[in-house]
A and B are shown apart, each in its own frame.
Chain A
Amino acid sequence: MGKTLFEKIWDEHVVADLGGGASLLHVDRHYLHELCISRGFPTLHERGLPVRNPDLTFATPDHVISSAPGRTGGAFPWSIKVMDTMRIETAKAGIRLFDIDQDGQGILHVIGPELGLTLPGTTVICGDSHTCTNGALGALAFGIGISEVVHILATQTIVQRKPKTMRANLEGTMARGVYSKDLILALIGKIGAAGGAGHAIEYAGSAVRALDLEARMTLCNLSIELGSKTGMVAPDEKTYAYVKGRRFAPAGAQYDAAVAHWKTLATDADAKFDAEVSLQVSGLPPQITWGTSPEDVIGVDGRIPEPGHVSKSDALAYMGLKAGDRIAGTKVDRVFIGSCTNSRVSDLRIAAEVARGRKVAKHVEAWIVPGSVGVKKEAEAEGLHEVFLAAGFQWREPGCSMCVGVNEEWAAPKARCVSTSNRNFVGRQGPEVRTHLASPAMAAAAAIAGEIADVRQFMS
């Protein structure tokens, strides 16, 4: 029987079989953000262990840094200390650091692919749950906790149990105003926030093949919101073209050799998955969440459902919404366009198309936070920042910002925020803040309408 993409990459990285279903896997790419360093390195030092492979370890600040224009680092004494620790430790260990304002700085899951660090067939591990974003290139990528970060720093390996495999077949053609963010939100709504638990997902089908690489990253980014170990897309001609010429990508004869290898990775025709799920994307409306789990999602033309469980009644109360009401027309206070989900230049182009020639509603504060220095420069070269600034959006500096809120870039209590990020959890964007997840197009439409709005009405 043939093998899946996941199984091929897994098998290629087994250093040792530890018995009982556990394997020691080699880590090709270990990405560190500043909190991984400030929390992980003290343990490494306590144990007197060196970083085994600084050459395969890459760091950038994204979590605690301010996104304010003109920022110089952390916004608080504690975050300045975290930044100092990051600089000292990476310098001592010889780890490549993409620091503030340097080419390469940005959200880790944006810069990994952008710099050509994330490659098809590699294992990409990071102390951040959205590492699965990197699976869009056909990498085996997942997030871990701090103990395992230390384990990788010391050994360049990780102890893992093989998850089951699941194929998500996305078939059909997306309508205008619908993007990969809508596809993955709809899939989470269909199979639930634990629908992928215990599985590594491969996204397949005509709708996935049609997506460009950045849209595939959005798709894979929300794999963790399905409860899955990871999400990935088999590399194809689009992937090889995306990788070519990037800063750390192979070049010349080595590129050709790499592509030849990557072409062997796709799932074999006779491979069997432990589970198969499907989603018909034709006719799907733009999606938006109404509750406090990404699975609480409906079409923007829909009504808020009756709660079927005490958790959902709690969610409605937290969100200040009533079952049976239309979601469109709900007044919003904040809009956030950014995060490892939707902060790439293609996302910003989509938002700018909606914003062009229009104005952000007076009562709305709307932020654009590009995913990296590279994205920011490219967007500015295209004049996208001028479109946003003219419309009344703030044009900010790259980082995680309001997605995770560790730098306290929060909305006010009970404020309603339409966000292109990945989590609408209780308190995620600040205590008592009500988050609605949506695509960059829907977020831009909400900023302009001042309420949750169907972006299709903004498109000619």
Chain B
Amino acid sequence: MEKFTTLTAIAAYYPRANVDTDLIIRVERCAKVEKGGLGKYAFEMARFLPDGSDNPEFPLNNGPFRQARILVGNINFGCGSSREMAVWAIAGMGIRCVIAPSFGEIFFGNCFQNGLLPVILPQATVEKIGAALEADPANAKLTVDLERQVVVAPDKSEHAFAIEPLRKKALLEGLDEIGLTRLREAEIAAFQQKDRLKRPWVYV
């Protein structure tokens, strides 16, 4: 997995609430398109007009925001379906970090599996940062420092965020979760051996 340490990049604000993973990537793309090809279909229903041209109302279609590597969203970002292709699609657009007041639970977990950092900040902070990005596109850069757990806004104000320690370590070091769990094979085998006696009906 790709490491995440510190990222200073253009950030785009997409204020829509409840952005669901169906909106991020259509389901038939998930089934048909290879992992590396999903970026061009990310947000396709919002990003493109029915004739295939860019929708000027989609924030990431405008000026410097086309190069955004940080996405600032609204509540419940990535809600809905478990499709990990939503993360692959966003990553395929070049995004490495999403900042929002809250996230869909499964999307949030999927981000960590792909070296993408989801950051939760209070709604008022997110809205303030979003407004600053919109007000001054030429200066629409944020720094996300995972080691220090802060987001630095364009006005240099710093906003601390929480992250669970194991997830932080995994991102900083690019750790492989399956590899780590396989080191615990003896514990898994011991659990099952005991459990088979306690709950034999589970093992069909």
A residues near B, CB below 8 A? 15-16, 18-22, 24, 26, 28, 35, 38, 47, 49, 52, 55-56, 63-64, 78-79, 82, 117, 119, 121-122, 127-129, 142-148, 150-151, 154-157, 159, 161, 163, 193-194, 197-198, 224-225, 227-229, 248-250, 254-255, 257-258, 261, 293, 295, 309-311, 314, 404-406, 408, 423, 425-428, 431-432
Residue of A nearest to B104 (CB): A227
Chain B residue contacts of A431, Cβ below 8 A: 45
Question: Which of B3-11, B64-72, B89-97, B187-195 faces chain A?
Answer: B187-195
CB-contact partner of B22 in A47, A142, A248, A427, under 8 A: A427
| Pair A227/B16 contact, Cβ less than 8 Å | no
- What are 8 pairs between A and B in contact, CB < 8 Å? A47-B178, A55-B204, A142-B106, A145-B82, A157-B188, A163-B105, A261-B199, A311-B18
Q: In terms of DSSP, what is the predominant structure of the interface of chain B?
A: helix
Closest chain-B Cβ to A1's Cβ sits at a distance in Å of 24
**Given A15-B188, A18-B166, CB of A310 within 8 Å of CB of B16:** yes
| Pair A194/B15 contact, Cβ less than 8 Å | no
10 tightest A-B contacts by CB? A145-B84, A20-B165, A147-B113, A250-B201, A194-B76, A145-B110, A143-B82, A129-B82, A311-B17, A425-B22
Interface size on B, residues (CB 8 A): 56
* A79 CA to B31 CA, complexed, in Å: 8
Interface residue B140 (Cβ < 8 Å from any Cβ of A)? no
Question: Interface 1/0s, chain B 56-85, versus A by CB < 8 A?
Answer: 000000000000000000111001111110
| Pair B200/A254 contact, Cβ less than 8 Å | yes
Residue of A nearest to B88 (CB): A146
Closest chain-A Cβ to B177's Cβ sits at a distance in Å of 6
Chain B residue contacts of A63, Cβ below 8 A: 31
| Pair B188/A155 contact, Cβ less than 8 Å | yes
Closest chain-A Cβ to B58's Cβ sits at a distance in Å of 12
Question: Interface 1/0s, chain B 153-183, versus A by CB < 8 A?
Answer: 0000000000011110000000001100110
**Given A78-B32, A425-B22, CB of A314 within 8 Å of CB of B16:** yes
| Pair A154/B80 contact, Cβ less than 8 Å | no
CB-contact partner of B105 in A18, A227, A311, under 8 A: A227
Interface residue B20 (Cβ < 8 Å from any Cβ of A)? yes
* A393 CA to B44 CA, complexed, in Å: 33
| Pair B16/A129 contact, Cβ less than 8 Å | no
Closest chain-A Cβ to B123's Cβ sits at a distance in Å of 11
* A55 CA to B203 CA, complexed, in Å: 7
Chain B residue contacts of A249, Cβ below 8 A: 201
| Pair B178/A151 contact, Cβ less than 8 Å | yes
Known: A155-B185, A257-B200. 11 other contacts (CB 8 A): A18-B166, A26-B192, A55-B203, A129-B80, A129-B106, A154-B181, A157-B188, A193-B79, A194-B79, A227-B102, A405-B28
Interface residue B149 (Cβ < 8 Å from any Cβ of A)? no
Chain B residue contacts of A156, Cβ below 8 A: 188, 192
**Given A22-B164, A55-B203, CB of A228 within 8 Å of CB of B105:** yes
